[in-house]
C-alpha cells in the first residue's frame, strides 16, 4: 500500500499544511469565526474527498487493486464538505457534534490502523487515542464556542504536523526504494 501512495506524498504534505494553517488561524486570530471555519473546512473536505476518490480510482484502473476504505473515506469527506457548504444554518447548529463524530471515527480508524500486524505503529495508535479523547471531550464536556476554537486549533496543528511528518517519511521511503532499484539494475 505504501508503494502505491508514495507517488502522492506531496498531497499529504499539502493536507498537513492546510490543517496546520487552519489550526493557526483558530489559535491566533480573533476575527476568524465559526462561519469562516465552516466554509474553510467545507472546501478542504470537498477537495480532499474528490482527490482521494480520483487517486483510488486511478490506482484501481492501473493496477486492478484498490481498497474500498479509501472510497468510503472519499465519500464521507465529500458528503460532509457539501453538507457544510450548502446548509450553513444546520452546520452551525450541529458543528460541535460533527467535529466530535469526525474525531471519534478518525480515532477508531487510526487505532485500527496502528494496531494492525502490518503497521504496528505506536504514533498512529497514540494519534487515534488523542482523537478519541478529543471527541469524548466534545460530547461529554459540551464546550463553549470560544474554547472549542482553541481546542480545534490545537488539534488541527497537531494533525497537520503528524500528516506532514508521515508524508516526508513516505517520500524518504520512495527515494530509498528508487535508489535500491537503480542500484540493482
179: phi then psi, degrees, rounded to nearest 5: -65, -40
Greatest pairwise CA separation for the chain in angstroms: 61
C-alpha 164/C-alpha 62 separation (Å) is 27
Span between the terminal Cα atoms of the chain, in Å:
23
> Would you say 177 and 6 are in contact if contact means Cβ atoms under 8 Å apart?
yes
Q: What sign does the dihedral 71-108-21-7 (CA atoms) show?
A: negative
For range 14-33, the mean pLDDT: 83
67: phi then psi, degrees, rounded to nearest 5: -115, 120
Q: Residues 97-138: pLDDT tens digits?
A: 777 888 888 889 889 888 887 767 787 788 889 888 888 887
At residue 182 the predicted structure's pLDDT band, cuts being 50, 70 and 90, is low
C-alpha 175/C-alpha 181 separation (Å) is 10
Q: Residues 139-167: pLDDT tens digits?
A: 777 666 666 777 777 878 888 888 888 88
| Residue given cell 494496531 in the structure block | 115
Percent of the chain with pLDDT over 70: 85
> What's the pLDDT score for residue 79?
92
* pTM exceeds 0.75: no
Q: What sign does the dihedral 170-172-177-178 (CA atoms) show?
A: positive
> What's the pLDDT score for residue 82?
92
All three cell numbers of 46, joined, read 470537498
Q: What residues does each domain of the chain span?
A: 2-178
C-alpha 162/C-alpha 165 separation (Å) is 5
Amino acid at each position: 500500500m505504501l508503494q502505491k501512495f508514495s507517488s502522492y506524498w506531496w498531497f499529504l504534505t499539502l493536507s498537513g499544511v492546510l490543517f496546520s494553517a487552519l489550526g493557526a488561524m483558530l489559535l491566533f486570530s480573533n476575527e476568524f469565526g465559526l462561519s469562516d471555519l465552516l466554509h474553510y473546512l467545507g472546501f478542504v473536505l470537498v477537495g480532499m474527498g474528490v482527490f482521494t476518490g480520483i487517486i483510488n480510482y486511478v490506482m484501481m484502473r492501473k493496477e486492478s487493486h484498490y481498497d474500498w476504505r479509501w472510497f468510503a473515506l472519499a465519500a464521507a469527506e465529500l458528503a460532509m464538505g457539501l453538507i457544510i457548504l450548502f446548509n450553513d444554518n444546520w452546520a452551525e447548529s450541529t458543528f460541535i457534534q460533527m467535529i466530535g463524530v469526525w474525531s471519534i471515527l478518525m480515532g477508531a480508524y487510526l487505532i485500527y490502523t496502528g494496531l494492525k500486524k502490518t503497521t504496528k505503529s505506536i504514533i498512529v495508535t497514540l494519534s487515534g487515542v488523542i482523537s478519541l479523547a478529543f471527541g469524548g471531550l466534545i460530547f461529554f464536556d459540551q464546550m463553549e464556542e470560544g474554547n472549542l476554537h482553541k481546542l480545534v486549533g490545537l488539534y488541527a496543528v497537531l494533525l497537520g504536523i503528524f500528516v506532514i511528518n508521515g508524508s516526508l517519511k513516505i517520500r524518504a521511503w520512495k527515494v530509498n526504494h528508487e535508489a535500491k532499484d537503480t542500484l540493482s539494475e
